[in-house]
Amino acid sequence: MEVHKAQAFLAVAEELHFGRAAKRLHMAQPPLSRLIRQLESELGASLFERNTRHVTLTPQGEALLEPARELVMLSQRIKDVVRKSQEGEIGRVRLGFAGASVNQAVGELARQIRRRRPGISLELYSSQFSHVGLERILDDSLDLLIGRWDFLPAEISSRLIALEELLIALPENHPLADRDSVDVEDLADEAWIVLPGGAGATLPNRLNTLAMNAGFVPRIVQVAPDSWTLVVLVGAGMGISLILSSVRDNVPSRGVVYRPLTQEQKPVEVRLIWRHGDANPALRAVIEISETVFPAPGTAMDA
């Protein structure tokens, strides 16, 4: 049964008068009568008993009342769902992030989305390092990603959400641990522990640039799967690492000290990225909420 025919049937069933039902539906009586006859023909049953003085429901018409109401209500609910989707009130957004260094930021964003747009389903995917997550943004398996890149392709839009400091993580008994800052040249012979890297990943790029300018190639002894493991390995004396201030602030670091580099370094940008031109209204709503959760530091231009 089509929705407009269900509406016509309900109007006649509730008014028990074709003239009043037609007026309620803002249509003439003859087209309404034709609609009812078409519906009765489709269903193979009479829905109304008609005479010159009365209109009454047949048993088949009585049985159809509740299903017809459900159909009309479902139609209205579908329209409401579509409207809310168009306005970004409901929908799905898949957010990727690396892990411990941004856990608090992700948690705050999730809380604000739940409070302000409870109809949006925010799906979280951790362990999305910048190079891996960028690929997933480009292939449409993620919608948003928090990460760090020195370079982003033209297909990506972004906004700056934080600035971080580059630090050297050292075992607490390391000869350089008692210094206020560390010269890059003094690290030429060190064993390095790094996180997984890839094209455009900030930390590998920064380490290679620092080492090249200081005249050495870093001797990488281990690639840690995440920041937690990296800090544990440094604390165990397995090597040193170039790391971010957010790791120092968010990851337990027993046996580890953090020292800035003596040479002034450009801050590392933390960005929220998405596919340029993505038309998902829920995504736009989450980006807008992020602007209040993570006000831009204002020292770099947003894409």
Per-residue pLDDT tens digits for 183-207: 999 999 999 999 887 656 788 889 9
User: 281-293 and 103-116 are packed helices; what angle lies between their axes, rounded to 10 degrees?
Assistant: 120
Candidates 194, 189, 241, 185; CA nearest to 215 is 185
pLDDT at res. 300: 42
Instruction: State residue 185's pLDDT score.
Output: 95
The answer to whether residue 20 scores a pLDDT higher than 60 is yes
The CATH code for residues 166-260 is 3.40.190.10
Instruction: Determine contact, residues 261/111, Cβ cutoff 8 Å.
Output: no
Global pTM value: 0.70
Average pLDDT of the chain is 89
**CATH 1.10.10.10 is the classification of domain 3-86:** yes
> Residue ranges per domain, the chain?
3-86, 90-163+269-293, 166-260
Which residues pair with residue 147 across a beta bridge?
A: 271
Do the Cβ atoms of 187 and 166 come closer than 8 Å?
Answer: no
90-163+269-293, superfamily in CATH?
Answer: Periplasmic binding protein-like II (3.40.190.10)
Q: What is the pLDDT of residues 46-79, one digit of tens each?
A: 999 988 788 999 999 999 999 999 999 998 888 8
Q: Which range has the worst mean pLDDT, 107-121, 200-214, 236-250, 272-286?
A: 200-214
The phi, psi pair for 192, rounded to 5°, reads: -110, 140
Over the stretch 100-131, which tens digit does the pLDDT of each residue have? Answer: 667 778 888 999 999 999 999 999 998 677 77
Helix, strand, coil share (%) of the chain residues, nearest 5? 45, 25, 30
Fold equal for 3-86 and 166-260: no
**Are 206 and 166 contacting, i.e. CB atoms less than 8 angstroms apart?**
yes
CA neighbor of 80 nearest in space, from 70, 67, 90: 90
What is the amino acid identity at position 83?
R
Count H helices, E strands: the chain? Answer: 10, 12
87 versus 193: which is more confidently predicted?
A: 193
- As given in the structure block, the two tokens for residue 29 are 């009586």
**pLDDT value for 63:** 94
pLDDT score of 173 more than 90: yes
**pLDDT in the model for residue 100:** 67
pLDDT at site 198: 64
Q: Are strands 166-171 and 256-260 parallel, antiparallel or unpaired?
A: antiparallel
CA-wise closest residue to 96 among 158, 154, 143, 157: 143
